[in-house]
C-alpha cells in the first residue's frame, strides 16, 4: 500500500492510510491482520491497541 505510515505511541499503534485506496471493510481487515501479526511475532505484557485511520486531506491555498 502506498502513501501509508504507522506511528507507535506507548501501547498504541496508529496506521494512517489513504481513504481512496482502502474502504471501510478493508480497513477493519487490515487492522485485524496487523494485530494478529503483532500477537504472532512479538512478546509483550498486556495489550497493544491498533488504530487504523482512513485519511482524506484537502489542501487549499489563499494567495
Q: What's CA 42's distance to the chain center, in Å?
A: 18
CA-based R_g, the chain, Å: 14
CB 12 within 8 A of CB 34: no
SS3 state at 17:
strand
SS3 state at 15:
strand
Q: What's CA 29's distance to the chain center, in Å?
A: 11
Residue-averaged pLDDT of the chain: 89
The pLDDT assigned to 51 comes to 93
Given pLDDT bands bounded at 50, 70 and 90, which one contains residue 44?
confident
Q: What is the largest CA-CA distance in the chain?
A: 52
Report yes or no on whether pTM surpasses 0.85. no
Task: State percent of the chain over pLDDT 90.
Answer: 54
The pLDDT assigned to 15 comes to 93
Average pLDDT over residues 11-26: 91
Amino acid at each position: 500500500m502506498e502513501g501509508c505510515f504507522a506511528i507507535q505511541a506507548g501501547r498504541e499503534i496508529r496506521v494512517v492510510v489513504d481513504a481512496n485506496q482502502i474502504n471501510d471493510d478493508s480497513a477493519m481487515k487490515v487492522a485485524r491482520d496487523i494485530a494478529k501479526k503483532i500477537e504472532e511475532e512479538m512478546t509483550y505484557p498486556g495489550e497493544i491497541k491498533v488504530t487504523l485511520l482512513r485519511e482524506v486531506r484537502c489542501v487549499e491555498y489563499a494567495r
